[in-house]
Every structure is written in C-alpha cells, then in structure tokens.
Chain A
Amino acid sequence: MKIDKILNKEISRINLHLPKTRKSLAKLLEEDEPKVELRDGSKHYFKKEELLFLSSLIDEWEKDKLFLPIVLELTPVWHGYFKIHGKIEVKVIEKILGTYDILEEKSEVTLPRYLLPKIRRKLPTTTTYAFIME
C-alpha cells in the first residue's frame, strides 16, 4: 500500500502552493515587502512593479476588490481550458489579453490554455495555478 500513500500525498500536495488567504491589491500596495503566506507555511513575495502595473489597469475603488494572487484554475475536466473567477480578476486578465469590453461585466471566464504564457509573462508573481478535482 506504499504506492497509495505516495499517491495520497501527491494529491494532497498538489495545491499546497496556494495562499492561506489572498490579500487585496490595496493592502499589498501598503506593505513594505508585499507577500502572502502559502498553505505549506512558506512565503510568496510579489514583485512591486507588477502590483503597480495592476493598479494601472483598474479603477481606484477596485483595488480593495482585487485579491491576489489571481487564481488560474486548471481541471482535467476542462482539458485545454482554464478558468478565472471574480469580476475584477476577469477584468485584469481580459485587459492583458486585449479582450476587455467595458459593457460586459463577467464574474467568471473560461479561456483556452495557449493564452496562459501571455498572462504568466506579464503577471508571474501575481497569478498562480490551482488544480481542481471535481
């Protein structure tokens, strides 16, 4: 049953890099060393220039509502696609991809995975992957 133990460990380990709680952009901008604590107890630091870049994409009042890191959800069920939840999160990502439409307010979006490198290049520390099992 050793294999099962390793497997169970791998499965439970797969999302340990997600933050215990996310922080708003507004809060992170006030921090000297902007960071979040992860589920495994380690720290994940943000690049300040990335936080400033994000600030430039949204309105002042939205900074309290944008929680970081933005979670890019991957699931075997939606192979070839990923999901993002949250109005401001979606706005930011769509602005980066150049698909943002001011008239459309979405609280969730599903996008093809080949767009991921573009997002990760621009937001390497302020986005993170999550593996979702149904």
Chain B
Amino acid sequence: MPEILKVKPTRMELLKLKRRIKLAQKGHKLLKEKQDALIMEFFTIYDEALSLRKELAQKMEEAFAALRLAEIDVGLLKLKEVALGVKPNNEITIRKRNIMGVPVPLIEAESFKRKPDERGYPFVSTSSRVDIAAQKFEEVLDVAVRLAEVEETLKRLAREIEKTKRRVNALEYIIIPRMEATVKFISQRLDEIERENFFRLKRVKALLEARHA
C-alpha cells in the first residue's frame, strides 16, 4: 500500500492532485519514450564499440609481432634511436554532437598512416621491418581514435539511461501511486464527511420537527 501525501481532504486539494497526476503521467510517458530511444541508440553504438574493440586487439597483436621482428633486425638500441627521430603525427580535432541532450565527442581525424619518408627517421639507415612496425602502429592509432570516440559515447549514453531510468521508475512505482492513493483517500474522506453531514442534517431536521410538533 503506497504512502499517502499530507494534504487536507478538501475538494480543492482533490482537483489540484488530479491535475498533478496528469502532469506526472505525461512526464512518465515522455521520459519512457526517451528511455526507449536512448536504449536503441545505445545498442547501435555498442555493436560498433564491440567490433572496434576486437579490431584493436587484433591490430595490436600484429603490431607487436612486427615490432619484435624489427627489433631482431636492427637491435633494441637502434630501434629506440629511430623512434626518437620520428616526427609527431597529425593532431586531432575533437568537436561535439548531441544525442537527445547528451553531449558526445565527434572526432574527425585524417588517417595516421604515412609513407616511410614522411616519418622523419633516416630511412636509409633502417630496415623495411622497421617501416612495417611503424605502419602497423599507425594502423593501431587509427582504430584507437575511432574506438575512443565510440566508447566515450557509449559511456555517456549509459549514464543518461541510468538517470532516465531512475526518474521513470520513481514516477511509475512511487510518485504516481502515492498521488493516486491520496486521491482515493481524499475521495473517501469527502464521502464520509458528506455522509456525516447528511446524518447530522437529518438529526437536526428531526429535532426541529419534534420541537414543532
């Protein structure tokens, strides 16, 4: 049995409450609608995140394999030296887009893949295995940046879903039932009062009639 709100059992309060129930129901419907849409959106992005995660794991495995081969080829010391000479790759631009009130990142980055002569290390002094390792890690960067955007979006949608769900549940299981129980309570009280009044009136009438008789 839901709790009852503390209000005076009057006709005024009854009307007010009925209006509030209408508002709560409207809010509930709208929020439920939003929750459904958020969940649909969430799963669309989840699928993308899942496949990018798999792709990242695979690309990194390939990249580390290539790195090992490069290391065998030129030695760790030399490889570290080469890495120091590599020019920084493109920077990224992070903008915003909005999904149902949730701001999420939008990253537009050119591919990080470069030609060996664009990397900045003296490529005559290295082996093609170094180039392959560099290229594999560039591919890793491409996927990682895409995943960063998608996973962040997923997390933010998840938080919004939790928030919306709490609101929807509170309305559905606490707020609206409480209001409805109160309406019922007030109606009953008003009925009682009316009945009491009726009987009182009847008694007064009887008394009056007895006196006149």
Do A's and B's CB atoms come within 8 Å in the complex? Answer: yes
A14 touches B30 (CB 8 A): yes
- Which residues of A are found within 8 Å of B103, using beta-carbon distances? 42
- Which residues of A are found within 8 Å of B167, using beta-carbon distances? 10
Given A4-B23, A121-B44, check contact A10 B96 (CB 8 Å). no
CB neighbors of A among B129-171 (8 A): 167, 171
- Which residues of B are found within 8 Å of A117, using beta-carbon distances? 40, 43-44
- How many contacts between A and B, using CB within 8 angstroms? 78
> With the chains together, A16 CA to B100 CA distance in Å?
8
- Which residues of B are found within 8 Å of A109, using beta-carbon distances? none
Interface size range on B against A: 20 to 34
1/0 contact string of A1-43 vs chain B (CB within 8 Å): 0011001101101101100000000000000010100101011
- Which residues of A are found within 8 Å of B34, using beta-carbon distances? 14, 131
Number of A interface residues, CB 8 Å? 36
Interface-lining segment among A44-52, A56-64, A86-94, A95-103 = A44-52
B108 touches A125 (CB 8 A): no
Q: Which of B33, B44, B96 contacts A74 (CB 8 A)?
A: B33
- Which residues of A are found within 8 Å of B100, using beta-carbon distances? 17, 129
- Residues of A near any B CB (own CB < 8 A): 3-4, 7-8, 10-11, 13-14, 16-17, 33, 35, 38, 40, 42-48, 74-76, 79, 113, 116-117, 120-121, 124-125, 128-129, 131, 133
